[in-house]
Amino acid sequence: MMIWSGFLEALRDVVSAIMNLVATPVLIYFVVTNTLLLVLMGLAGWEFVRQHRRKSYAGSEQTVASQLGQGVSVVVPAYNEAVVIVTSVQALLALRFARHEIIVVDDGSTDATFDQLRCAFDLVPVQREVPSDLLTRLNVIDVHVPRDGRTRLVVVRKENSGKSDSINVGINAAVEPLVVFIDADSILAPDALISVTKPFADDPTRVVATGVVVRPINWCKVVDGRMVEVKLAKPWLVRIQVVEYLRAFMLGRSGWSRFGALILISGAFGMFRRDVLVEVGGLDPDSIGEDFELVMRIHRHMIKNRRDYRVQFVAEPVSWAEVPMTVKVLRRQRSRWHRGLWETLWKYRGMALNPRYGRVGLVALPYYWAFELVAPVLEFVGFVLVALGFALGVVNTSYALMFMAVAYGYSTLVTLIAMVIDELSFHKYRRWRDLGAILLASLLENVGYRQATAWWRLEGWWASLRGKKPVWGTMTRRGFGDDSPAVAALSRHV
Amino acid sequence: MNVEQVFPSVGVAIGLGCVSSLGVIVIAKIRRGLVRARSRALLAPYRGALITIASGEDEGGQAKVALGAAPPHIWSRLRPSVVAFLPKVRGVPAEELSALMRSHGEIDEARRMLTSRSAVGRARAAYLLGLVSDSDSVALVLPLLSDPAADVRMVAARALGTIGDPSAGSGILHALRTRRGQIGLPAWVAAEALLSMGVEIAPTLQIGLASDDPAVRSVCAVVAGHGTYISTAPQLRTLLATDSDRDVRAKAAVALGRVGGPDDAATLALHVGPSEKVVLRRTCATALGEVGHRESVEALTGLLGDCDRRLAELAADSLVRIGSEGIARLEEATTTEQGPRARAASGALELAALRGQLVVGSTGP
């Protein structure tokens, strides 16, 4: 008994000492993180205002009508996408754009993905060779095109070798100077290609890549592959992700783009110059954060070769995709994202704080190291310490509550400001109840969700440090086509 | 003052910030709804008239009279709809809508705004003058081609293209140059504008093809090809053979494919050899198909086995485009050979059959 109470006393002293030591730095870290996010949002807001004012004379009609603008190859890697692939391809073929082709790369699907395509588009095999501009792991099995010979659709079949390798095959098959990668379950706005190619059209010599915000589609009404009504999903897990996407992905990345240091373009929808992709060697099939890794490689390549270039972000909501609806899938996704973040940051560690790499090296990368990679460690350690402190009775309750109120209150304020910017610029969620639900989600995010994601991110990091083989899981989706509650279960990369 | 003492005031500030943000969201949402409803109510009597004009059915001119008489507070709400219609209509509806804009003083206002201190104001003014094809404004819009704002330069070039006055051609070519760190006009915008100016632009093109600026030469080559300006062919041959800029050579090859004659097959064939850069080889292979003369057949057949498989594919497609002689060579390759040459030939023949480009009885799937 004496020993136990002595141990508890010692533990109290240790925990108390640690808490006294880290409380203020952690609070400062929290404040700095959110303030930087606020600065990025300010930059994003500035950019939105600029884009909004330009809209009236942007010349979208000319872009659509132009035969001189650059054409686009839309690459769709597909693995077991039988439920959505036909609708997706139909919607892609119907996109408003002067010159675009669709290249579906069937990555060895074990379901009816290819049969669905063959029936819907009357595909016939052709002895078309796929060039080897990029090295790929597995050879192409065959190439199919629609029997009419005119519809700009190419279906390339290959053995299963992963999403990145499939995209590389698609890049090889692409004939247009701009290449966009999208997930088969993404829904695009009819003018998506016009919006995303706009930076290339305005500054064709310097812009090498553009990214767009991908917004959660769960529960939205989709008819024939077209978004017809934006609705907020019912599960709180999805609602919280809506808040997250809005704050971190849309506004955060818009801010980085405005600052001239965008280093991450979502793999669900990114557009690149084909020649640049070939120069840098395409996507790395061994990377788990292949989208991040590709953009970093492009930055390094362009700066090393002293080329004037731009990587830009288009904030207009033109792409929608399903987000995880179960804790299991979300856990796997966040774990993979963080693992990808760590592995890419580590791979390009030589660029961080290196003046040669300008804003990317001096600002963006240090930010990602300090506030994206390390954040879950601090958040989790802080949570454990507070819990331990309460258990041991060494926490000043009023201080702890004020601490949490300030920290989470500030984070909620940042989310609300993100909502203000979205409401003033895009106002996609029109129903009052959706707005109320998003507000509530921004509060609920602090209770359990943040802590859980912090833990899952740490799991991903730890798995990488241990050299554990990355696992691609399965995702259960609703599919699209209508708003029926039927759940289409199919496996895809998560 | 320690951290603990600061907490309450920081908490209050954060709380106020949250409440203000909420207030902004709610006010913005309510205001948007009210504005929309009010606009809908105000514009309801005019919507039909606008659609009548835009669809070219205002034969009695009543719709035009009704919209022309719209009071200023209605016109300010109606104006965006008229501007949105303008790029989508041609002929009489476009003229009627332009006249409507003029009757409401929009053209005079746009001319005044061309010298506005705001770049957005200048761009909007130039855009509007282009939309209504106001030929009297060319001299006013031209200076905007050297505007400090890239947006304004681009909109001005488009506006001048829409107006279609060839006297603006040299100004557009001048705006292609990058000066004092200002990126010049995007090539495709300049090319579109020049193409809109019609055949009278030919002398300007000839001057541009001899420019010392590769961006200018490149755009002129694009326009020469797309507009089939046959008089530029000698200059294009020289550019293809001797220009120091790779992009200019490639653009000249494309243009030569469109405007060239039988003699140019040999010129283009010179540049499909392995000593040339990939882009130029591929461009010349395609251009040989565009020229479409039997003199190209030998050179293209020789490319079917090239290690650049995209080049082989383009060469095979070009053989199809040449017609019976090219197709015969492809068929020969599929029957007498194996390996990459046969594959490239089969692929092209299969696609040609699907597209109905082969005569009945030819090879096809």
| ∠ Cα B331 B334 B339 (to 5°) | 150
Interchain contact, B186 vs A27, CB within 8 Å: no
Q: What percent of chain A has pLDDT over 90?
A: 47
Beta carbons within 8 Å of B360's beta carbon, 6+ residues apart? none
Interchain contact, B313 vs A128, CB within 8 Å: yes
CATH code of the domain in which B134 resides:
1.25.10.10
Q: What is the pLDDT of residues B218-250, one digit of tens each?
A: 999 999 999 999 999 999 999 999 999 989 999
The residue of chain B with its CA nearest to that of A148 is B354
Distance from CA of A486 to the nearest CA of B (A): 33
Does B271 or B60 have the greater pLDDT score? B271
- What is the domain count for chain B? 1
Q: Which two tokens stand for residue A199?
A: 């930076």
Q: What is the pLDDT of residues A385-410, one digit of tens each?
A: 888 888 888 888 887 788 788 888 88
pLDDT for A472 equals 59
Scored b (16 or more CB within 10 A) or e, A345-377 reads: bebbeebbeeeebeebbbbbbebbbbbbbebbe
CB contact A397 to B (< 8 Å): no
Question: For residue A444, what are the CA distances in angstroms to A30, A97, A237, A238, A438?
Answer: 18, 41, 10, 12, 10
- pLDDT score of B153 more than 70: yes
Handedness of CA A412, A418, A423, A427 (dihedral sign): negative
- pLDDT score of B197 more than 80: yes
Average pLDDT over residues B317-334: 91
ipTM above 0.85, yes or no: no
Does A58 or B213 have the greater pLDDT score? B213
Nearest to A364 by CA among A454, A257, A287, A280: A257
Does B26 or A491 have the greater pLDDT score? B26
- pLDDT score of A487 more than 50: no
- The pTM score is 0.87
Tell me the three state secondary structure of residue A123.
Answer: strand
- Choose from B132, B228, B354, B355 for mutation: most chain A CBs within 10 A: B354
Beta carbons within 8 Å of A484's beta carbon, 6+ residues apart? none
CB contact A128 to B (< 8 Å): yes
Average pLDDT over residues A246-270: 89
Mean pLDDT of chain A: 87
A186 close to A95: Cβ distance less than 8 angstroms: no
Distance from CA of B234 to the nearest CA of A (A): 23
Q: Which of B120, B150, B186 has its CB closest to that of A204?
A: B186
Q: What is the pLDDT of residues B200-211, one digit of tens each?
A: 999 999 999 999
- pLDDT score of B275 more than 80: yes
Q: What is the pLDDT of residues A72-124, one digit of tens each?
A: 999 999 999 998 899 899 999 999 998 999 999 999 999 999 999 999 999 99
pLDDT for A64 equals 67
- Measure the CA–CA gap between A273 and A301, rounded to whole angstroms: 14
Distance from CA of A306 to the nearest CA of B (A): 16
pLDDT for B365 equals 36
pLDDT for A383 equals 82
* Pick from A29-38, A149-158, B353-362: least confident: B353-362
Interchain contact, B25 vs A419, CB within 8 Å: yes
- Measure the CA–CA gap between B203 and A171, rounded to whole angstroms: 41
Q: Domain span at residue B88?
A: 71-181
- What is the domain count for chain A? 1
**Residue A193 included in any domain:** no
Q: What percent of chain B has pLDDT over 70?
A: 96
- pLDDT score of B71 more than 60: yes
- Element of type H or E holding B15: helix B3-54
- Measure the CA–CA gap between A220 and A142, rounded to whole angstroms: 36
**Residue B253 included in any domain:** no
- The residues in A 213-242 lying below 8 A from B, measured between CB atoms, are none
**Distance between alpha carbon A317 and the CA centroid of its chain, in Å?**
13
- The residues in A 423-482 lying below 8 A from B, measured between CB atoms, are 423-424, 427, 432, 435, 439
The residue of chain B with its CA nearest to that of A20 is B3
Label residue A2 left, alpha or beta by phi (over 0 means left) and psi (-120 to 50 means alpha): alpha
**Residue B238 included in any domain:** no
**Residue B248 included in any domain:** no
**Distance between alpha carbon B174 and the CA centroid of its chain, in Å?**
18
**Residue B150 included in any domain:** yes
Q: Domain span at residue A364?
A: 16-70+216-264+315-470
CB contact A126 to B (< 8 Å): yes
Interchain contact, A403 vs B158, CB within 8 Å: no
| ∠ Cα A436 A438 A440 (to 5°) | 70
Count CB pairs under 8 A between chains A and B: 144
One-letter identity of residue B278: V
With cut-offs at 50, 70 and 90, classify the pLDDT of residue B18.
very high
**Residue A281 included in any domain:** no
**Residue B330 included in any domain:** no
